[in-house]
Structures are given as C-alpha cells and as structure tokens.
Structure 1
Amino acid sequence: MRKLILIFCIGSFFGISQDSFGQRPIDPYGEIGITAGYSYYIGDINPYKHLGPRKKFAFGAAYRFNLTKRHALRIQGTRMHLEGYDSDNEDIDLINRNLNFRNKLTELALLLEINFHEYRLGGLGTGFTPYVFGGLAYFNMNPEAELDGSYFELIDIHTEAQGADGFDNPYKRGQVAIPFGIGFKAGFSDRLAINLEWGIRRTFTDYIDDVSGNYADPSIVRDNAGLQLAAELADRSLEPIGPDGSNIGMQRGNPESRDWYIYTGVILSVRLGKDGNGCWK
C-alpha cells in the first residue's frame, strides 16, 4: 500500500509543478455524468488482495467543475457491493475460520483532480490527459453474513460483543475515507468526455467485513445481542483452535489493519452550458 501512496504523491507533484498554476485562465465550466465499473475490498476476508474473484458491479453519478485546464473539483456518489469469503482462501486456518460477508456501501466523495496536461473540452488545449485525484469521502455501510442461504445484518448483532462490559464500543454505519487514485480523461467532441479511473479508499474502520478482534465468549455475544443467532454468526469455525477446545480469546481478525476498498470504472460526462468555442447548445 505504501507503493500506491508513493505513486500518487509523485504524480501529484508532477501534475502541480508543470506550470499548473501559470497556464492561461479559462472560463470555468461544469460537466455532469454517470459512472459504472466494479468494486472490491482489502481486509480480513480477502486472500487475494487486488487479484481476487470477488469483484462486483458498481455505479454512480458525478458532477465535475473545471477550475482551470489543470484542476477540477468533482462530487461523486457511488453505490458499491463488497464481499469476501474465507472459503476462497488456500490458507487452511482461514478456511477453518469459515466467515463471509457482503456490504452494499453508498459513498459520497469530494475530489480534486490534477491534470498532467492542459485539458479542456472543446476550444484550445489538449483533448486528453492522465490525471491524479484525491479528496474526502463519507460512506454508509451495512455488513451482512450468509447463513443457511439467508443474509443477516451484523451491525446490531455485535459479533465481537461490542458494547458489552470490557469490550469495544459498537461501530457505526457512517464512516469517513480518504480516496485517491489515477485516471485518464479524453474528450471526443466539444460536449462529451470519457474517463477511465482506478481509485482506492483508505478507511478508518476495520469493520467493513465485521471482522477485527478476538472471539468473545459465545454466551456474552448471545446475551449482549439477545439472540442465539448472534453466537452462531460470530463463530462459524469448522473446528475450535484454542487449547481448551474453544475459540474464546483466540484471534478472529487483525485489529492493527484497517479495511480498504477500491472502485475501478468509466465516467461518461457531458459539458453544461457553452461549448468550448463559447457557443450555447
């Protein structure tokens, strides 16, 4: 992950340093568009990192405000589907853990784009450029797990006894992330543009997959949630791993590592108002 951050920083430096604040001014203009692609996550239930099979369709809408030929602000809302299964793994310990999740996540992001070349839809300037972007995002999540063919929401079940005496506080649906990534944009008329983009989100939660700490006593999980189902969803292991024949106190997840999620997609946008030659259409 450090390599990705380094690549982003280098790209931002070059995008800013190439006379990015000294180019000829333009009239700012807006674009509105739609986006579609796929999403996936990196966390406790993902053995393949970026190369896993659990990529899911995602879609959204965006508004871009082009400040200069090198800088644009973008507001984007995206609906993503994230999921993971221990059964996909080749590690026998994770296969034995036997957890799974899905999370239909909604994100609203404010992003700054920095173009490598001067770019403008229509008129003077190049009609294509690579770019980097970064910003701030708010997302709403709702992790679920599948058991016997049915899905159950996990946030109120507290599978790690969150909220009980001596345990962590419950996590929240609403979370903040830092998105950043790279892309390529091109105009194929005075009004229309296409973007290809890959972006990763650094979150501040370890519960996108509802897995973080250690196994709690099943009776505490059950009493805390008021449901026997909570204990069944908390410990799905095929065999106990503890020396006493249980999993109590044994590692369930890795609390030192936060979850990440990724969106790769295409954005099709149309210029609003005047075209690049100053004409209304």
Structure 2
Amino acid sequence: MILKKFKQALLICFLLQIGGVFFRNVSFAQSSVTTSEIGVGIGGANYKGELAPNYRLANNQPALTVFYRRDISNPITLRGGLMFSHRIFSDNTASDDAYDLPLPNYRQANLRLSLMELSAVMEYNFLDYYDFRQPRRVSPYFFIGVAGLLYNVKLSTESQDPNLEPLNKNYRTSLTVAVPIGVGVKYALSRHWNLGLEFGARKLFNDRLDALTEDDGKHVANPYNNDWYFYNGVSISYTFYRINCPPIYKNKPGILD
C-alpha cells in the first residue's frame, strides 16, 4: 500500500514538473493572435480489464465528447473536455477463440458500465499549427493530463460451478482519478474549422472499474493488473481569434490582458 501511494505521488510530481518546463516563459512566446476552440467528437470508448484482458477494436462502444481548447504558445495548447459512454460486456460476447478461456467460462459474467470523464490535458503540437501563413495547416500532437472519472457498474454472474457463489453487484456512482495519455492529428479545413483524429489511453490506479476483484474469492480476477479504458474518435471544432495588442497601445489592460 505504501509503495502504491508513493508511485501515485511520484507520477503527480512528474506531471507537475513537465508542466513547469513547458509553461516557463510562455508569456514571451505568445504570438500576436490567441485562438480558442469549442468542439465535439464522436468515437468509441473501450475497456481493458477482467472481461477484456486485451485491447480489441471490436469492443468499442459509442462515446461522445465535448471540449474547449486554447493555445498558450506556438507548440502548447490546453484542453478541457467531457466524455460520455455506456457499454455492455459479457464473457460470452467475444467471437474469437482467444476468449474461449477457462476463467471467462468459469465466471459467466455480464457487465454494464457507464462512464463520464472530466479531463484537463496539455497538448504538444509537433508542427507549427498556428502559423496562419501556411496554405495547409496540419500537425500531429501528443497529450497528457489528469482526469476525474464518474462511473456506474452493474455486474452479474451466471456460473454453473457450485464452488462459485453468484455475484450480483449494482454500485452507485463512484469517483476515481485517471491519467489520460495519447496522440492525435489536427487538420485545418478552413480558417475557422478544424478536423481532429485522436487515440488515447487512460491509466487507472485501481482494479475496480469492472467490479471484479480478488476480494470476490475463488480467483475470479487478476490482482496484478489495474483496469484501463480508452477513447478513439474524430472531432470537429470552431476557432475563435483574438488579436493581442502590443503593450504600448493598451490604455487600461483588462482581466484577460
């Protein structure tokens, strides 16, 4: 337990250190135009845990995102967003032979999982996406941040094994913390409209997302791997522009100046 807490504290310190490196001297790097965006995205949310031990694209369930993005320097943008998804998993829904394993057949579990994520991430753009002199603006980017996750779980098992007592769990909404990390690409359709494509993973610090834990006994769960969830999708956003006047022309600087 102490080692686990230490790892979490170390990760938080690492993220803060990255932020300090990127945000230092941002005020000197600000261009004459500041942009902000609002957008929506649609895609798939995925889960990796006891019922899905490996990432499979076929396990995607519909997900919706809304977000706000603001550039603070040429390479760095900040983004806040909400993601919603509802998913159903079962030990019997996988179609390939890799999932016809003794443990899923032993559990016969069914899972309903609803997610709502509130995230704040920093994006690093590898190309100068905000150079408006370019005839075509495009840039791949990397992102990392922190997220709060609200989730609701309903779990049931239908095992015929007399050594496994049936599990029926209907958890109220729970809250946990995740670390989003991933990659994407932005493409400017016009001066105001942007198209985006993104894939990201969310690292959790517990093994309770699917409600199957070693506490249930009879080895129905793997106690050595924490759960993960993922999002991949496409987005469209609209850009707003603000011209930053040089200081000598500012008579009374406002809150945003």
On whether the aligned pair clears a TM of 0.5, the verdict is yes
Deviations 1:182-237 (A, max 9, x none): 0000101110001100000001121111101143xxxxxxxxxxxxxxxxxxxxxx
Q: Is 1:122–1:191's contact at 8 Å kept on the other side of the alignment?
A: no
Q: Match of 1:95?
A: 105
2:200 maps to 1:263 = no
Q: Moved runs in structure 1, 4+ residues, more than 6 A?
A: 20-24
| Displacement of 1:145 | 3.0
Q: Match of 1:181?
A: 182
Q: Is 2:34–2:241's contact at 8 Å kept on the other side of the alignment?
A: no
Identity %: 26
Q: Match of 2:163?
A: none
Distance 1:60 1:257, change over 3 A: same
Pairwise CA RMSD of aligned residues?
2.8
One-letter amino acid of the structure 1 residue matched with residue 184 of structure 2: G
Normalised to the residue count of structure 1, the TM-score between the two structures is 0.66
One-letter amino acid of the structure 1 residue matched with residue 149 of structure 2: F
Q: Is 1:177–1:203's contact at 8 Å kept on the other side of the alignment?
A: yes
Higher strand share: 2
| Displacement of 1:252 | 1.6
Alignment gaps of 5+ in structure 2: 1-17, 159-167, 244-257
Whole-angstrom CA distance in 2 between matches of 1:115 and 1:121: 12
Alignment gaps of 5+ in structure 1: 1-11, 157-171, 216-248, 276-281
Q: Match of 2:118?
A: 108
Distance 1:182 1:21, change over 3 A: farther
One-letter amino acid of the structure 2 residue matched with residue 99 of structure 1: A
Q: Match of 2:41?
A: 35
Q: Match of 1:54?
A: 59
**How many residues are matched?**
207
Distance 1:96 1:52, change over 3 A: farther
Q: 1:207-218 alignment to 2 at 5 Å?
A: 207-215=208-216
Distance 1:199 1:193, change over 3 A: same
Q: Is 2:72–2:78's contact at 8 Å kept on the other side of the alignment?
A: yes
Whole-angstrom CA distance in 1 between matches of 2:221 and 2:32: 51
Whole-angstrom CA distance in 1 between matches of 2:32 and 2:230: 33
Distance 1:145 1:24, change over 3 A: closer
Q: SS at 2:222's partner residue?
A: coil
